[in-house]
Amino acid sequence: MHSPDHNQSTLGLHLADEAATACFGRHLAPLLHAGMVVWLDGDLGAGKTTLVRSLLRACGHVGPVKSPTYTLVEIYVISRIYWYHFDFYRFNFPEEFVDAGLGEYFRDDAVCLVEWPEKAADHVPSPDIIVRFHFVENGRTLEFVACSQEGQKCLNVLKSGWPGAAD
C-alpha cells in the first residue's frame, strides 16, 4: 500500500460518450500495476463499471465484466496479476467491509478497483488514484486525482498523452 501524498494533483477530462470512457480506460490500463488501489466515485450510472470493463479488456480479459453490486467483489487474474473489482453500494454499515474480511484482498500482487468506497469509510485502504465521474449534458466529466506518488506517475503520463487534457 502506498501512503497518500498531501499534494494531490488532478486532471479533468470530458468524456462525450461510452466510447470515450472506454478509450480513457485503454490509456489508463497500462499505467496501473499490482499494489495500486483505485477509488471510483460517481452516482449510479456514471460510468464506474464501464471504466473497469475497459481496463480489464485492455489488459486482455475476454469474458464478461459484471457489476459486483451483489457479489461485493469480482475476481480476475490476468498475466499473474489479480484484479479485484469491488462495489460497496449495498453496505448498510462500513463495518461490513471488516466482517466480510475484504481487507485481505488489498495485497501487493493485486490491483483493487473500488466502487462506492465511502460506504466502507475508515476501513477500505486509501487510494493511489481517485477517479470521479460527473454527469454533464453531453456525457460525463472525469476528474483524475493522484493521491500517492504512484498515482502521480500515472497522472503525469496521462497529462502528456491525452488530447485536450486540462489542469
- Contacting residues toward ligand ADP, per CB under 6 A: 15, 17-18, 20-21, 42, 44-50, 67, 115, 139-140
User: 110 or 131, CB closer to ligand ADP?
Assistant: 131
Min CB(75)–ligand ADP separation in Å: 18
Residue closer to ligand ADP, measured from CB, 123 or 140: 140
Q: Measured between alpha carbons, how far is residue 97 from residues 73, 89, 106 in Å?
A: 11, 11, 12
H or E segment to which residue 52 belongs? helix 48-58
Nearest to 128 by CA among 53, 27, 14, 31: 31
Indicate the Cα dihedral angle 106, 109, 111, 117, nearest 10°.
0
> Residue 114 Cβ, how far from Mg ion at the closest point, in Å?
11
Nearest approach, Cβ of residue 60 and ligand ADP (Å) = 20
What is the Cα–Cα distance from 90 to 105, expressed in whole angstroms?
19
CB of 109 to ligand ADP, least distance (A): 25
Q: Does 50 bind Mg ion (CB under 5 A)?
A: no
From the list Mg ion, ligand ADP, none, partner contacted by residue 99 (C-beta under 5 to 8 A by kind): none
Q: Please list, in sequence order, all residues whose beta carbon lies within 8 angstroms of the beta carbon of residue 95, skipping any fewer than 6 positions away.
A: 123
The site for Mg ion, by CB under 5 A, has a size of: 4
Grid cell for residue 74: 469480482
Q: Which of 42, 48, 110, 133 lies at the binding interface for Mg ion (CB under 5 A)?
A: 48
